[in-house]
Structure formats: C-alpha cells, structure tokens
Structure 1
Amino acid sequence: MFDFGFSEMLLVAVVALIVVGPQRLPKVARTVGHLLGRMQRYVSDVKADVSREMQLEELKKLQEQVKDQARDLESSVRQQADSVESEFRQTTSEVRKSIEDDAPAGPPMTPAPSASEAWPAEPAAPAPGVADESPATDPSVSGESRPESGRSGS
C-alpha cells in the first residue's frame, strides 16, 4: 500500500520517540498498528464490494443478452410458424378449390356404408354341391377314425 523503505521507517520511529516519549511509545505503536489493521480491512472490504458490483453488472449484462437472444429466437420461431401456417392455409384452399372444380355436377355422393352395413351379420350358407370343409366335421382333424366300407381302422 505505502512504499516505505527501512530508512523512512527508522526516521519516523526516531521522531515518534522524541515527540511521544519512551513511556507512551509502546501504547501509541499498538494503537497505530490497530488503526493500520482496520484501514487494511476496510480497503479490502471496499475492493471486495467493488469486485462484487462489477460481477453483478456483468451478470446483468449477460442476463440482458440472454433475454434479447431469447426474444429474437421467439420472434424467429413465430415468423416461421406464421409462414408455415399461411402456406398450409393457401395449400388447403387450393386443394378445396381443385376438389370443387373436379366434382361432377350430378347428385351428391352418398357416404360409404358403415362397417356394420357392409358385412352381413350371419355367414352365408354354402352353395349346393360344395362340400363343407370345416375342421369340426372333418374326421381326420377330430382324431376319430371311421371304417370305410368293410375295412378295419387298425
């Protein structure tokens, strides 16, 4: 902090010894030491406060930059979304117009039958002369053996 050499400190000590006197010199030296210590602590506290304030200012600037970048990104995303939405609406209107132009002028088309109307509830009976080949009536599937005209099933 102060740039004192040995010779300057010796000169101050001699002047202090003459002015204060030998009996009070230790007490005055102790008081001066305490005051110098307090002054050093005060200076270091001020330095720390200034450093914290500078860091706080840097953080505030950084926070503002991040907020600005977030706003820019948000506006960019909104512009892109609006652009895509307008293109989508334009394409949709073109497709609808194309469908309306291509539609026949006749009666409106009836909707396709629902699944319950399209399929019958009961399966159709087999046509006459067609053998039913379901596994339930096939003797080879059920495991039963029927003797055929005089042969034994062993």
Structure 2
Amino acid sequence: MLDIGWLELLVIFVLLLVVLGPARLPEVARTMGLWLGRLRRMYNSFKLEMEREIGMDDVRRQLHNEQIMSEMKTLEQETKSILSDTQNALADPDSKPSNPPHKASQTPSDVDSPTTKATQSESG
C-alpha cells in the first residue's frame, strides 16, 4: 500500500524526536495510534455497509456456486470418458488395451544365480 521502508521510518522518527522532543513523543505516538485505530474501524464499517448495500454476499455466493458447477462439469466429462472407454473395452474383448501391462523380461526361476551355477557344476 505505502512503500515506506525502514530507513524512511527511521528518518521520520528522528524528525519527530527533534520537533516534538523526547517528553511529548510518547504522548503523540499514543494519540496517533488511537486515531489510526478509529480510522481503521470506520473504514471497515463503511466497507461492510457498502458490501451489504450492493449485495456483495450474493455475488460472492454466486461466484462460488459457479466455480463448484464448473468443477462438477469437468468431473462429469471425465466420468463419461472413463465410462465410454470401459464400455468399449467390454464390448470388444479381443481388442488390445491402449496401455498393455509390461511383461517381465525374466522370471526369478529363469535367472541363474552364482550359487545355482556352482551347485549345478558340482553335481554335474
């Protein structure tokens, strides 16, 4: 909102300290804090009143409902796609699936381990 950095705040504080003096600075800071709190409450009250007047709650609710409905349509399309794929697969069982499972290149019994080779050479 206001791009005030630490250096600017330090300069403002030093200027206030020089102008007001160390005796009045805490009193002025307290008064400014009270006024800022009042302004913030008045702003929030005004903002809530305006939102009520123009019906922002209804607009927010409608936007939320539209978002939910768009998500529901996406889910419906995905479900229909899965259902049609499943029905096609059931109707034509001879057709290969689009992603066939990968076959293992060797089964554990086909693999010759060093201990199996050693046992076969000793007995053979």
TM-score w.r.t. length of structure 2:
0.42
Structure possessing the higher radius of gyration over alpha carbons: 1
